[in-house]
Amino acid sequence: MRQAIVCVVALSAGLTPRAASAATCDELKTLVLSHTKIDAVAVVAGGAFTQPGERAGRGGNPFSDLPAFCRVAATLTPSGDSDIKIEVWLPLDRWNRKYQAVGNGAWNGTIGYAALADALRRGYATSATDTGHVGGSASFAMGHPEKIIDFAYRAAHEMTVTSKAIIAAFYGAAPSRAYWNGCSAGGRQALKEAQMFPADFDGIIAGSPGLDWSGRSAQAVRLAQMFENPEARLSPAELQTLHAAVLQACDARDGLKDGLISDPAACTFDPKTLQCPGGGTGCLTPKQVEGVAMMYGSIQTKRRRIGGLAPGSEVNWTDLGWSPSARATGLDHFRYLVFGKPDWQIANFRLETDVDKLEAGESGAIDARNPDLKAFFDRGGKLLMYHGWADPQISPLNATAYYQEVVGAAGGPSRTAGSYRLFMAPGMAHCGGGEGPGQFDKIGPLERWVETGTAPDRIVASHTTEGTVDRTRPLCPFPQIAVYKGTGSIDDAASFSCK
């Protein structure tokens, strides 16, 4: 193996060329690392990358704007039953001297090419993993406890350690900063990193995190069981009626009627106000009201509270309750991790007994609920977490509850303000989209926080319709909310302050 020599590199405009001591892309084939096999290396010319197995559609190749990079594929085997695939992308020119790891979604055993591309465009060396299996099902878990550990946390950590070594070999210098960027399951991975491997990253973005992975499974299956009864289901028109009633009850509580609920946790809407015996235009049947109450409701056990969906999210629901992805993820969790029975059905779920089984064995290892982040904070780590209040797939109430638990474990807000910020987005759905402003830069604010010490006190988000921005709004550090100043456009972020 050619030895990488860490050296001082001359910087130009914050970007650096590769050092004279660095390995070429082709030489990375012979790199020797612990429980790592380099499967392939290749120089990819600017604009030449195409996603494996995909054909360019009418919009052309979405990767045509990528710069040239060295693409490394490797297999990691930290256990006898591990088969973790990773890819590491290394810009050939204008590397920003930083590393960004990107996360996954659901049970997905795939490389996140779109996320890799986003990081590469910003000058990062970047990597992604398939979490140790192939496909979007949890069927890999049956009889394979080591693969469950890989999915839960080990694949992300091992990818990070290996990627840093490959980066150092290729550039002749270690990255100056390391960041994690993930949403949903990637947000769960983010929190696992902060909790278990506090030295891996300087800054972490945890979006819409599935931190109570097992609890979300229980909620999704419980609701799916309710909505197997057609009498409980709501049509799109009935969901709109429900949503309008919620807005009527809670929209103006923040001092502005704008179609968004800034603090859904304080909304006291009672779905029974829409109930009429036989249903009909503008009202709901008793069975529908029962289903709606369950959508909002939490599961309370002796050990924990598992949040429901928030008022204001109704237009993002389906006639079967939570999102299809949430239902499928929950069903797989019970089939393959809790009961080990591929033929287990939603009708078999028993709330009184089955929720407690979620924390047993490998199932509980996937959760990222540990609020003790002291080791990560003590070494200067910064955690930027965000969640949409209108998320139909992962309860936003779990995010605010976790924030309060972390603050409590650290000894109060003064101990976490410089290290941890949570931004709740009114009207935003899962990881983005929805009626509210849900498009915003996450990496820029985190970089400034880590690299200059400037903590984000507001992040401006936007909403677009048919490609045109029609509303901007500041996202505020929880528990603050955006409050209208009394003058100016309600669609302009400058008209709001965080209070």
Indicate which residues carry an active-site annotation: 184, 391, 430
Please give the structure tokens belonging to residue 244.
């309008």
Please give the structure tokens belonging to residue 27.
């030489």
Please give the structure tokens belonging to residue 224.
């799916």
Contacts of residue 229, Cβ cutoff 8 Å, sequence gap at least 6:
287
> Nearest to residue 91, comparing CAs of 21, 19, 26, 167?
167
Q: What is the distance between the alpha carbons of residues 220 and 391, in angstroms, rounded to a whole number?
A: 13
Note whether 243 and 314 are within 8 A (CB).
yes
> Nearest to residue 130, comparing CAs of 89, 87, 85, 163?
85
Please give the structure tokens belonging to residue 293.
């109450």
Neighbour tally for 325: CB within 10 Å: 18
Neighbour tally for 24: CB within 10 Å: 13
- The tally of CA atoms less than 13 A away on the side-chain side of residue 89 is 30
CA 46 from chain centre, in angstroms, equals 29
Q: What is the distance between the alpha carbons of residues 126 and 240, in angstroms, rounded to a whole number?
A: 42
Please give the structure tokens belonging to residue 33.
């690392």
Residues 258-289 as b or e (16 or more Cβ within 10 Å = b): bebbbbbeebebebeebbeeebeeebbbebbb
CA 338 from chain centre, in angstroms, equals 24
DSSP 478: T
Note whether 120 and 67 are within 8 A (CB).
yes
> Nearest to residue 225, comparing CAs of 366, 392, 354, 388?
354
Please give the structure tokens belonging to residue 23.
């390995």
User: Token pair 């550090």 is at which residue?
Assistant: 477
DSSP assignments along 75-127, one per residue? EE-SSTT--EEEEEEEESS-B-SEEEEE---TT-BS--HHHHHHHHHTT-EEE
Contacts of residue 211, Cβ cutoff 8 Å, sequence gap at least 6:
187, 188, 191, 367, 368, 369, 398, 399, 402
DSSP assignments along 207-237, one per residue? ES---SHHHHHHHHHHHHHHTTSGGG---HH
DSSP 463: E
